[in-house]
Amino acid sequence: MRKLVILFTLFVGFIGFAQTQNALLEHYKAFYKEMRLQGDVGGVINALTHLNVLAPSTERKDTLAFVYMNNNQHMQALNTIGIEKNADDSDLAVQVKAVSLKSLNQPKRALEHFEVLFGRIPSPHLAYELADIKILVGDNSGALENIEYGIANAKDDMKYAFYERQQPYEVPLKAAFLHLKGLVTYNTDKNNIDSAIAQIDEALKLDPNFNLASLSKQALESRKEKPQDE
């Protein structure tokens, strides 16, 4: 009889716990929807964190990491989903790892995730990210392949945003690729400054207000004026 009482008590306790768990789950689902409507990023993060504790899922974890990334909380994003290359990762998870690692100045680690993403869903914008990082790590031939792909596939309405000025600005994506092509030309042959400048001029023809291209052109012109042995 005593065993039956204990079992009944445990059963009732389990039912009560399950009901509480379900109530909390519904509460945080409603809370998540409300925070999204209000545009409250902190509230969305709070809700998703609780939902992941109550009912863990890869989709929610990826979404939480994506919200962190969009809020420039890149370390938190990577702490949520890790940095390892995983064939089972969703496209969203790969994107978060790539962007956050790049933002945290880990170009080589970011590169492998951008390569995975480009292999799944190739696009001119991803080609630009790949070319930009490859220039940074010294892979000029690899960068040139991505640049040529980008120039061939970029549409006139495609833009790329730059943030080196206090006020961010956008330029035609094709102009951004032409700027990178000029940099690769110079990096490949330091004596070929004229060709590099000509390619950057092509970028400036597409957008005369392309500030970063103007700065690169000025830097190349100043190098041209200096003796080669300096």
Which of these, 85, 127, 76, lies nearest to 109 by C-alpha position?
Answer: 85
DSSP 123: -
- The string over 141-171, giving b where at least 16 C-beta atoms fall within 10 Å of a residue's C-beta and e elsewhere, is ebbbebbebbbeebeeebbbeeeeeeeebeb
How far is it, in rounded angstroms, from Cα 174 to Cα 160?
Answer: 9
Positive or negative torsion for Cα 34, 39, 171, 141 = negative
Query: Residue 26 corresponds to which tokens in the numbers above?
Result: 């519904």
Query: Quick one: pLDDT at residue 16?
Result: 44
Query: Quick one: pLDDT at residue 28?
Result: 83
Query: What global pTM score does this model have?
Result: 0.84
Query: Quick one: pLDDT at residue 19?
Result: 54
Is residue 189 within a helix (H) or strand (E), and if so which, with residue range?
none
- Print pLDDT tens along the chain (230 aa): 554 444 444 444 444 444 577 788 888 888 788 888 898 999 999 999 989 988 899 999 999 999 999 999 999 999 999 999 999 999 999 999 999 999 999 999 999 999 999 999 999 999 999 999 999 999 999 999 999 999 999 999 999 999 988 899 999 999 999 999 999 999 999 999 999 999 999 999 999 999 999 999 999 999 877 655 54
- Could you tell me if 204 and 217 are in contact, meaning their C-beta atoms sit under 8 angstroms apart? yes
Query: Quick one: pLDDT at residue 228?
Result: 54
Which of these, 175, 186, 177, lies nearest to 210 by C-alpha position?
Answer: 175
Can you list the domains of the chain with their CATH numbers? 123-230 (1.25.40.10)
Strands 159-162 and 169-172: antiparallel
Q: How far is CA 73 from CA 79, 93, 129, 164, 187, in A?
A: 10, 15, 20, 19, 33
Spatial CB neighbours of 167, under 8 Å, sequence gap ≥ 6: none
